[in-house]
Chain A
Amino acid sequence: MRNRLRELRAARGWSQSDLADRLDVSRQTVNAIETGRYDPSLPLAFKIAEVFDDRIESLFFPTEPATAESGSRSKTRT
Chain B
Amino acid sequence: MPKTAEVRRSTSDVARDRAAVRDTLPAVVLLFVTQGSLILLNPDGGASAWNLVWSLLPLAPALWLVWAQVKALRRSDEYQHIVQLEAMAIGFGAVVVLALAGGLFDAAGIGQPKQYLQITFIGGIVVWVVALAFKTTRAR
B-contacting residues of A (Cβ < 8 Å)?
15-18, 20-21, 24-33, 37-38, 40-41, 44
Q: Which residues of B contact A (CB under 8 A)?
A: 2, 5-13, 16, 76-80, 82-83, 136, 139-140
Offer 13 A-B interface pairs, CB within 8 angstroms, sorted by A.
A17-B7, A20-B10, A21-B12, A25-B10, A26-B10, A26-B13, A27-B13, A28-B83, A28-B139, A29-B77, A30-B10, A38-B79, A44-B78
Chain B residues near A29 (CB-CB < 8 A): 77-80, 139
A14-B2 Cα distance, complex, nearest whole Å: 9
Quick one: which of A16, A17, A40 contacts B78, CB cutoff 8 A?
A40
- Does A20 lie within 8 Å of B79, measured CB to CB? no
Docked-complex contact A20 and B140, CB < 8 angstroms: no
- Are B82 and A27 in contact, with the CB atoms below 8 A? no
